[in-house]
Amino acid sequence: MDKSFTDRHWQSADGLTLHFREYGSAGNRPPVICLHGLTRNARDFEDLAPHIAGQGWRVLVPSMRGRGDSDYAEDPESYQVGTYMLDVLALLDAEEIDSFVSIGTSMGGLITLALAAVHPDRIKGAVLNDVGPLLETAGLDAIKTYVGQGRSFPTWMHAARALEEVHGDAFPDYGTEEWIAMAKRTLTLCNNGRIAFDYDMKIAEPIMAADEAAVPPDLWPAFGVLAGKPLALLRGELSQLLSVQAFEEMQRRAPGAIAATVPAVGHAPTLDEPEARAAIDALLARCA
């Protein structure tokens, strides 16, 4: 498989230089855009993106502001879904993309839902990976226990073991090789020789400051927009964020959607699992 990509950049409305990887080349199909989760970056899709590009698709994989090789924001209040959506729209405009297929993991799925609510015509089809209109408090609380802590490590093995301590329940079948691979997607080697998480620790500030008593936005109307398009729904069998009940309700409201539960993983499937790949390939066949 050809895993080559081009590093490219675009500008946000507030002047940040943001990074994306481009795989494949433009054709008659709409491009695929892969949107990562809260603390992740473009490396999350380093195996999936070339797999899709190998089927003749152009694939764009951005690192959202504050992650990877994208600029960090001066104002941490901009680390929220509404701003990420505007950043994606700026990318679409810069690349003259009318519509695209979205593959969104966790936060990336929320960005997809936000886009569906505001610009439904821009989304040709979508994959929602372990995320939906209803999210469990237990899963959200678990995220708050580790985001923004600013830890660093002397070796990749130390980093891998730290990830296992936090996420071991979500990936019980992972061995040392898998944890090191996850570490190299999630962390980076710094100039001081330490290995640290590859995101701005300030992304945690809006999450920690959120009013827990506030009524969350109703995302079901946005989901209803996606339900009328080619749609694939994925859930990790052990997920604490997307419940079985919510997943079943999503399928009820989108009876034509492809749905798959990825066994023996929690939040969130890496999309390298056979069940996830099969669902994504089937979704792309509907969008071709």
The predicted pLDDT at position 142 comes to 87
Average pLDDT over residues 192-221: 89
Using a pLDDT cut of 70, give the percent of the chain over it: 99
Q: Are residues 159 and 214 in the same domain?
A: no
Average pLDDT over residues 27-34: 94
Q: Hunting for tokens 């669902």 — which residue is that?
A: 279
Q: Are residues 25 and 73 in the same domain?
A: yes
- Candidates 26, 24, 30; CA nearest to 3 is 24
Question: How does pLDDT run across 224-252, given as a tens digit for each residue?
Answer: 999 999 999 999 999 999 999 999 999 99
* Cα–Cα distance measured from residue 251 to residue 246, given in angstroms and rounded to the nearest whole number: 9
- Candidates 206, 255, 199, 264; CA nearest to 235 is 264
Q: Are residues 85 and 119 in the same domain?
A: yes
The confidence band for 149, taking pLDDT boundaries of 50, 70 and 90, is confident
Domain membership flag for residue 1: no
pLDDT of 111 higher than 80: yes
Give how far Cα 281 sits from Cα of 45, 85, 189, Å.
Answer: 15, 25, 34
Q: What are φ and ψ of residue 52, in 5° steps?
A: -70, -45
* Cα–Cα distance measured from residue 265 to residue 94, given in angstroms and rounded to the nearest whole number: 37
> In this predicted structure, which of 71-85, 173-187, 199-213 has the lowest mean pLDDT?
199-213
> In this predicted structure, which of 20-29, 78-87, 116-125, 273-282 has the lowest mean pLDDT?
20-29
Domain membership flag for residue 231: yes
The predicted pLDDT at position 209 comes to 85
Domain membership flag for residue 71: yes
Domain residues for the domain of 178 are 149-198
pLDDT of 39 higher than 90: yes
The predicted pLDDT at position 215 comes to 64
* Cα–Cα distance measured from residue 124 to residue 231, given in angstroms and rounded to the nearest whole number: 9
Instruction: Return the CATH number at 73.
Output: 3.40.50.1820
Domain membership flag for residue 142: no
Q: Are residues 221 and 168 in the same domain?
A: no
Domain end, chosen from 157, 176, 198, is at 198
Q: Are residues 264 and 215 in the same domain?
A: yes
Q: Are residues 174 and 277 in the same domain?
A: no
Residue that wins the pLDDT comparison between 140 and 83: 83
The predicted pLDDT at position 146 comes to 87
Q: Are residues 86 and 209 in the same domain?
A: yes
Q: Are residues 114 and 153 in the same domain?
A: no
Q: Hunting for tokens 């827990």 — which residue is that?
A: 212
The SS3 assignment for 282 reads: helix
Q: Are residues 239 and 117 in the same domain?
A: yes
Q: For the chain, how many structural domains are there in total?
A: 2
Domain end, chosen from 198, 215, 233, is at 198
The predicted pLDDT at position 184 comes to 98
The confidence band for 216, taking pLDDT boundaries of 50, 70 and 90, is confident
Question: How does pLDDT run across 42-54, given as a tens digit for each residue?
Answer: 999 999 999 999 9
The predicted pLDDT at position 1 comes to 74
Q: Return the structure tokens found at 36.
A: 């990562």
* Antiparallel, parallel or unpaired: β 17-23 and 59-63: antiparallel
The predicted pLDDT at position 246 comes to 97
Q: Are residues 157 and 191 in the same domain?
A: yes
Residue 106, C-beta contacts closer than 8 angstroms, at least 6 positions apart:
36, 37, 38, 129, 130, 131, 241, 267, 268
Cβ(50)–Cβ(1) below 8 Å? yes
Q: Are residues 94 and 124 in the same domain?
A: yes
- Candidates 56, 54, 58, 4; CA nearest to 31 is 58
Q: Are residues 163 and 281 in the same domain?
A: no
User: Could you tell me how far CA 272 lies from the centroid of its own chain?
Assistant: 13
Global pTM reads: 0.96
Average pLDDT over residues 260-284: 98
Neighbours of 37 (CB within 10 A): 23
Domain membership flag for residue 120: yes
